[in-house]
Structure 1
């Protein structure tokens, strides 16, 4: 076991890294790690942004893939999940007070860790909720981030018992009456592979489950009403044409076509309004592209390879 990062038998901690904590808004401890590439010349740094309920450990495989390509990886656990500070007395409730707290943590990570301690140029690779935060911050990141890859960005909440509109109304009402810390669903850890909506890969599903069983402090339960309120408001805001027009960072949107959480119709609608964005569909994949079966995951990694400048020729053309 690393002092800060945790290994399981089939998920060892990647080598050549530094890990620690920085202080986020409100004094919340945020766990981070930087993984250096073994290549003699760094091709840049990927800022890897996780989805809801995830942790650094879940991305060890993807981190190894990226560092093998000559890229450094800088990543952190969002407040309220993984190895970062929890926000409620019940640590399993997925909570945030304000969406802007996530944005603040990203800004501080870039300023305190990425800019002084990693290698230019900088790229963002983000999944789900992390991609929503990246989209929200993108107009302010143009001078720092060269390109972004957004995998299944969290721009809808489909596949639920209630409609997204009904969830929004209930979440707003609960928050208004100071019940934002309540959850709408029962905490059910250890759900089986059968019927899961995240991945079709049984091995990776078992690996990720073993992380939470071995290190239960990294696990997270259902989201609170306040979390839902803040996320759904952010989804509405970043999906507007005026916001998307302000984004000039070249962006690749990866769309898993069998994602029941963020339907492909939502991401296709985004692509039509998003001038800086290009959409690639990965046919048959579910929500968690980086945890998917090889035939889907390989397509996602190949798209990243083709999009994020890394070769000498690309650096020459870009003047980097």
Structure 2
């Protein structure tokens, strides 16, 4: 039976339900859902993780969303957390294509969001999750009314020569090496690496909390990506870099970017946002890649922007439950 890990200083939010969700290609995902702790229910926020993340890393965010009146759905993408792997080494972050993430999200829609969670549904997507969300909005299958994406992966900064790396990973994949770690990669989670000079957060307490959570989930906090994952990431970001793409996204979108992000390109996010017809961007100057794990002042700026952009549709929580029960009875 799947569970959620609990560590000192990072307790499991109470009242949640952990469940497994099967995808159309027979992959099993770990998911969890919570109802709001506020008296009114404004809808549901679905968390779309970044690469190598896991539900346990979002406990603080889940508590804050519930206090704002939102139900919350969280799940692990395939290839990370406690969801299925398609390679033998569970420490490898691996997918063959980002289309796999579409299958994951549609499975969550059909098994959790639509039958169990109150409207309206919005997503809070980090890094790779932002890339998936924006692709889904472009293609018309994203099951959310609004997108909030934090440090979205629209271009990868960690690669010194991205054009060469894109060609090289594509060639290595064609040679049958896609399931291997990227050159120089290994099983160590980025969340457990030493705090000094880290790429993720300037908040030492939250960084240590996330490192402890990563240790608790073990292989759930995967190491470096595989060659196939990296090739897929280059394909996905190259598609979104086309200047004709942003104007075709109709879903209202808020991009919150990190001004000191060494992982994903903030200038790429700014260029993308400038072409959106129904969106805008906020750049938090001192933030590193994981804005939701940053210092209090940075997080306060994020939540102010979130609250202004995602007002929800307040109803009393009992009324929301009655409405869902009536819908189930007539289904």
TM-score of the superposed pair, with normalisation by structure 2 = 0.90
SS in 2 for 1:145: coil
Runs of at least 4 residues off by over 3 Å: 139-144, 310-313
Higher relative CO (CA 8 A, sep ≥ 6), structure 1 or 2?
Answer: 2
Q: Can you give the 5+ residue segments of structure 1 that lack an aligned partner in the other structure?
A: 314-320
Please tell me the root mean square deviation across aligned C-alpha atoms, in Å: 1.8
**CA distance in structure 1 between the aligned counterparts of 2:158 and 2:54, rounded to whole angstroms:** 24
The residue correspondences of 1:247-262 to structure 2 (distance < 5 A) are 247-262=249-264
The residue correspondences of 1:162-181 to structure 2 (distance < 5 A) are 162-181=160-179
SS in 2 for 1:8: coil
Match of 1:211 in 2: 213
Match of 2:135 in 1: 136
SS in 1 for 2:177: coil
2:16 is the alignment partner of 1:17: yes
CA contact (8 A) 1:142 1:248 kept: no
CA contact (8 A) 1:257 1:263 kept: no
The residue correspondences of 1:1-320 to structure 2 (distance < 5 A) are 4-141=3-140, 144-160=143-159, 162-183=160-181, 184-187=183-186, 188-189=188-189, 190-310=192-312
**CA distance in structure 2 between the aligned counterparts of 1:54 and 1:81, rounded to whole angstroms:** 7
> How far is 1:312 from its partner?
5.5
> How far is 1:142 from its partner?
7.4
> How far is 1:156 from its partner?
1.1
SS in 2 for 1:63: helix
Higher mean alpha-carbon deviation, 151-160 vs 170-179, is at 151-160
**CA distance in structure 1 between the aligned counterparts of 2:270 and 2:97, rounded to whole angstroms:** 28
**CA distance in structure 2 between the aligned counterparts of 1:280 and 1:63, rounded to whole angstroms:** 22
**CA distance in structure 1 between the aligned counterparts of 2:275 and 2:304, rounded to whole angstroms:** 25
CA contact (8 A) 1:20 1:31 kept: yes
Match of 1:317 in 2: none
**CA distance in structure 2 between the aligned counterparts of 1:271 and 1:208, rounded to whole angstroms:** 30
Higher mean alpha-carbon deviation, 303-312 vs 88-97, is at 303-312
> How far is 1:25 from its partner?
3.8
Equivalent residue pairs, number: 311
CA contact (8 A) 1:159 1:260 kept: yes
Post-superposition Cα deviations, 1:73-112, rounded to whole Å, max 9, x if no partner, equal: 1111000000101121111111001210101111111122
Question: Structure 1 residues 230, 144: CA separation in 2 closer, same or farther (over 3 Å shift)?
Answer: closer
Question: Structure 1 residues 230, 38: CA separation in 2 closer, same or farther (over 3 Å shift)?
Answer: same
Question: Structure 1 residues 4, 143: CA separation in 2 closer, same or farther (over 3 Å shift)?
Answer: closer
Question: Structure 1 residues 52, 142: CA separation in 2 closer, same or farther (over 3 Å shift)?
Answer: closer
**CA distance in structure 2 between the aligned counterparts of 1:311 and 1:107, rounded to whole angstroms:** 23
SS in 2 for 1:177: helix
Higher mean alpha-carbon deviation, 29-38 vs 140-149, is at 140-149
> How far is 1:140 from its partner?
4.8
TM-score of the superposed pair, with normalisation by structure 1 = 0.93
